[in-house]
Chains A and B, each alone.
Chain A
Amino acid sequence: MFLGASSPATRSRPRLVDLNLIPPEYRRRPFPVLTSGLALLALGSLLLLYAIFYAKSYSDLEVSGLSTRVSQARAIVQTATGDPAALAQREKLQAMRDDYQILAQRQVHWGDVFQTIGDVPPGVVVKSASQAGFGITITGAAIDQDAAARYVNQLESSGLFINASLQMNPASGTTSFAAPTLIPTLGGRPPTFTAVAAPFAKPPPTRPPAPAVYPTPRPPATPVPTQPRFTPTITPTPTLTATPTPAFDFVLVSAQQLPASNPMVGSTDIRGKILDKSGKPFPNVPLEIESEGEPPWSSTASSLQDGTFDFSVTHGKFEVLVLSGNSQPAMDLYTGADGVPGSYNYQVTFQATFIGAIPPPVAGTATPSPSATLIPTASSTPVAPGANVAAFGCASAYLVQNGQVKPVPSGSNPSLAIDGNLGTEWNAGIAPGNGTQVIWQWSLPEPGQAPSGCSGAGMSDSQDQIDGFQLIPDQNPEGVTTHELWLYSDPACTTNVASTNTAYYTFQQDTSAGQILPLRIEPPLPVRCVIVRTLADPSNVAWEEIQIYQELAPPNGFPTLAATPTVTPTPTLTPLPATQTAAVNATATAAQAAALTATAGVPLTQTAIAATTPTVTPTPFLFGGLNIAPLVGSVSWTTFDGKAMQGPVECWQTPTPMPGSSSNPCAAVDDDTSTYWAPSKGAGDAQVLTLNLANPPYYVTNVDNVAYVRVQVESTGNGSSEIYQVWLGPGTQPVLACQFPAPGTPTAVESDGAWLDCPISSTAGTPTAVSHPLAVSVVIYHPSSIGNGPEDGSYGIREIQVYKVANLGSVPDVTPTETSTSTPTNTATATQAGTLVPTATPTVTDTPTATNTPTTTPTITITPTPTGVLRVPAVLRSNVGRGQGPGASDFAALPLPPTATPDRAPAAQPVASGPSQSTAGSPTPIAPTTGPVDFTIILEVASGNGYP
């Protein structure tokens, strides 16, 4: 390449001569890496081969196993399906079997069907019966519609038919309805043939029958046990012959209800004693106890040597009577209802009216025997699921007569209607009418704020959601009543939950003792005041119980629910002085004393009692109206002679004009008994504190009335006696309503904190009548120094409470004929005794009918109870706990309650009389007819299930 010459080496490079002089054994080995690599390759190949071989071998096993399973499955399938001919035969049998299932439906047991058709009730004649397919047409005649209806009902109840319709027309000819003469039956079915089963080999376990497809069967007939054919014996309806009622051989002397110590106990005792005519124990007298509910139950026993007997019973209502002779039964022995607090024992006493041996039982006598099926037992399911919280509130009662408030004459404790005991009741002792309304009122205070005399624990705002009511009246006689239910959201009964300021609901229906008048409210409403105003009642108004149901508590319960209170018993008063005890016996209760005093025209018993017994238990204050004293228009105070007039001040405004001192008259109307107003020492005597009432809407002039005034005494305890007077009326014509102590009674030292109760009579014609007073004045003075000396500063007024007549809307004067009740125009509320309350939620549109009724038309949605009209017993059918109607005498003369009259309409019958006779599926309306009828009954028989 250099100088253009080609390189000799490039041009002809000879093979290099191996001139390595190192002996071969000492030379470096050629390619050692290659050798190593080849060795590794060989080793790797070996390992790879092993792995692949292992995997291949494993897969061989898998494939082999799968092949075996597939082969087995194929063999199984092949075995199961068999050859085509066998498979076709099997399919044919299966199809035939399926067709036979259809045919079997036609295989009705016609013997049973025509047996049922032939069993006609009395008064029915079947002329013919035709069948085609599943249809049967029966023609015949019946003595009347009811007989035909009974026949259809009987057919339907047999279970052999799935549809029935009845068509009736007046009878076209004469038909004899005499009992048919039937030939005696042959008796028994023919001997059953033993079917010879075809040879049948049980198939192999895996033999695959084709899936069976059965047609949808018709409703099968109810299996009717085959009965021997027999000729029904038609017994003529027995004619009841009136039998003179003999005198009872055993009369019921007493039936005393004894509450069980555990109100939830499920078993109680009905014990008793049988006495002979002389009052000695009468042993070995047979007795019977019967349950008046369902299912029927009865038991018998005999009196022991000491004349006693004992029946242990569960919850229910029972009747006990002596089986010997003619016994007056002890009825309506209500022992409790499951789930309802209150279980009762009874102590019943019978006494013989004869002398000598035990007479045999009187068969067919007029001994009243109640029908066990006609008196439903008390339902353990109340109208609402929550708790009955009525006992947490305070009950009161009063009358409104021609717009004037009066106390109820009976003196019965209104709390007896909320004591949870159906055995006790509040009885007004008067029936409404002639301008008289009977008011029962319930107020629910805040916890701890119940007024004195009320044992209700009260409830917080979170607990006053009410969603149900059950009113259980007691009345005798039963009849149409009108009870209005007014609901308010505040305990003072000022805020009506009905925006129209009308009754929330009116129960206007036939009622009877123990009947439950239910009302469900959805959604729940905050209710703190309930007023039940009775405008019409054939009996004295009495409530066995008024149950007020709280909405169902949340899972963790309401925040603070006070323990169930116990009703404070009516306090017993110390006997009055001899000069006044003629009308009040030693055991008279406070309420009774109050009633007696009111009758006698004495303003209040407190004075008379306090005169001799300073520590007397105060008369329970149970008036629940609105205390308007804190809301009066103004307060003024002066001396009695009108000098030194001060005020007026408007205490209802805030801040209080003169806070914080005993000279502040607003302290007497601040609804706080810890503060008081007292005239300063040396002030003129007497002192007058006047409350000017007018302050609309709390007190409207010429509209509102005062029902009650209470004055709480403030006393230092070291002064002499003080006279308290309550005056009402316009300033120029005041009327003395009450004086404490009463005129003519010894003066006494009023204790600090004592309440002076002054019910206000607004009845025209009475000396103290004040209608629509404008002012209430409380006068205090020393009897020895009135007008002559100063006050000594030892007395004052802690509180004045002025209760106005509860606001019952703008119709204060209501009579049954000019009722302000809202007459429900829908049928849903026609909860007449004997009808079931509809389950649907009706919308009730009140239709005022009175001319002086507000013209508002509220729409109230109610949900009546689904349990229908129920009955709970008026336990102890004695003059205790029983509403006495006008002219009603005591229990012994009362007629026994009718037991044959159903309290509830029978369950919906397939066929009833009247235009609604058409049974289910009846295509033709049935014209109402009377007398004999020709009928056509079309039946659809239920499908059969094959013959043997």
Chain B
Amino acid sequence: MRFSLAQRLLAATSVILLGCCAIFGYLYLSNQSQKAALDASLVPLQATVTSLNAAAESRDASDPLLYTAAFPRDPPDLGLASAVLSSAAASGVSTGPIQTTAGGDEKIGSATYRTTTVNLTISGSLPRILNFFDRMEQAGLRTVTFDNIRLETGNGQWIAQLQIIVYAQPQ
């Protein structure tokens, strides 16, 4: 059988076109698989980004303690002693011997923090002693606490024995 030129031309064209279809079809399918992969990877990324945005918009993001250490790097021994003396002087209480113990540690939450403990005895009227507490609490020592406070009265005077503890970061 003889094919005409046109037939031959048509046949050749068709073959070429089909070939192209096959090629683009393959590329399309390849794109689809790539798209599916990208979708799969985008989902967790999007979730992460969403959570990040939410966290950034929360009040927690503005907590300065997330950008500044809540605990001092080193025990503020001098600052503590200074605060005790100045508070005692300002409040008018009489101070007895001041015993400072450094190098201790105490576990708070997830970590163990270094401590400096001041044991002291103060005496005076109750208002003066209360004023001493007020001044110590506002002395700017963020990690200071009071413990083992004992107040006794006698002869119109109050005697307070107490521990003042200040915490610092672990070493």
Contacts and interface: CB of A to CB of B under 8 A. Distances in A.
B78 interface: no
A355 interface: no
B128 A186 contact: yes
A100 B1 CA distance: 96
Contacts of B63: 97, 209, 212
Contact of B13 (A42, A97, A192): A42
A891 B58 CA distance: 72
A109 B130 CA distance: 10
B165 to A, nearest CB: 9
Contacts of A236: none
A121 B147 CA distance: 27
A26 interface: no
Contacts of A171: none
Interface in A117-139: 117-118, 126-133
A56 interface: yes
Interface in A50-64: 52-53, 55-56, 59-60, 62-63
A271 interface: no
Contacts of A211: 55, 60
Contacts of B128: 183, 186
Contacts of B153: 126-128
A73 B48 contact: yes
A275 B141 CA distance: 73
A920 B64 CA distance: 40
B140 to A, nearest CB: 5
B61 A203 contact: yes
Contact of B108 (A102, A946, A948): A102
A35 B42 contact: no
B7 A99 contact: no
A190 interface: yes
B127 interface: yes
Interface string B141-171: 1111111111111001000000000010100
A95 B66 CA distance: 9
B19 to A, nearest CB: 9
B49 A206 contact: yes
A45 interface: yes
A73 to B, nearest CB: 3
Given A35-B4, A52-B28, A209-B61, A195 B10 contact: no
Contacts of A34: 3, 7
B149 A110 contact: yes
Contacts of A894: none
Interface string B108-124: 11110100000000000
Given A70-B42, A206-B52, A182 B11 contact: no
A85 B132 CA distance: 43
B15 to A, nearest CB: 8
Interface in A913-948: 946-948
Interface centre among A38, A67, A102, A181 (most CB of B within 10 A): A38
Given A49-B20, A77-B48, A190 B39 contact: no
Contact of A182 (B13, B49, B127, B137): B127
Given A98-B110, A229-B127, A229-B130, A212 B17 contact: no
A201 B137 CA distance: 28
Contacts of B66: 90, 93-94, 97, 209
Interface string A879-909: 0000000000000000000000000000000
B137 A107 contact: yes
B143 A182 contact: no
Contacts of A277: none
Interface in A1-60: 30-31, 34-35, 38-39, 41-42, 44-46, 48-49, 52-53, 55-56, 59-60
Interface string B56-91: 111011111111111100000000000000010011
Contacts of A93: 65-70
A131 to B, nearest CB: 4
A197 interface: yes
A73 B51 CA distance: 12
Nearest to B11: A38
A76 B10 CA distance: 55
Interface residues of B, number: 89
A35 B71 contact: no
Interface in A452-505: none
A205 B6 CA distance: 68
B127 A67 contact: no
Nearest to B15: A45
A111 interface: yes
B149 A947 contact: no
A197 B21 CA distance: 69
Contact of A110 (B16, B62, B69, B133): B133
A126 B126 CA distance: 12
B63 to A, nearest CB: 7
A52 B67 contact: no
A56 B24 CA distance: 7
B35 A62 contact: yes
A947 B141 contact: yes
A77 B52 contact: yes
Nearest to A204: B56
A584 interface: no
A99 B52 contact: no
B104 interface: no
B148 A66 contact: no
A193 B140 contact: yes
Contacts of B20: 45, 49, 53
A449 interface: no
B13 A45 contact: yes
A132 B148 contact: yes
B7 A31 contact: yes
Contacts of A207: 52, 56, 61
Interface in B20-43: 20-21, 24-25, 27-28, 31-32, 34-35, 38-39, 41-42
B137 A109 contact: yes
Q: Which of A39, A111, A133, A193 has the most CB of B within 10 A?
A: A111
A208 B152 contact: no
B50 to A, nearest CB: 10
A230 B92 CA distance: 15
Contact of B149 (A53, A59, A118, A130): A130
A526 B30 CA distance: 83
24 contacts: A34-B3, A38-B6, A38-B11, A44-B14, A45-B16, A45-B20, A62-B31, A63-B34, A69-B42, A70-B41, A70-B42, A73-B48, A76-B52, A99-B109, A100-B71, A103-B108, A114-B130, A132-B147, A182-B125, A186-B127, A200-B64, A205-B53, A205-B57, A209-B66
Interface of B: 1-4, 6-7, 10-11, 13-14, 16-18, 20-21, 24-25, 27-28, 31-32, 34-35, 38-39, 41-42, 45-46, 48-49, 51-53, 55-58, 60-71, 87, 90-92, 108-111, 113, 125-131, 133-135, 137-153, 156, 167, 169
Given A48-B17, A53-B24, A103-B108, 8 more contacts: A34-B7, A41-B10, A52-B21, A59-B32, A80-B52, A110-B149, A127-B153, A229-B127
Interface of A: 30-31, 34-35, 38-39, 41-42, 44-46, 48-49, 52-53, 55-56, 59-60, 62-63, 66-67, 69-70, 73-74, 76-77, 80, 90, 93-103, 106-111, 114-115, 117-118, 126-133, 180-186, 189-190, 192-193, 195, 197-198, 200-212, 215, 226, 229-231, 946-948
CB-CB nearest 8 A-B residue pairs: A45-B17, A99-B109, A38-B10, A73-B45, A59-B31, A100-B70, A208-B52, A183-B125
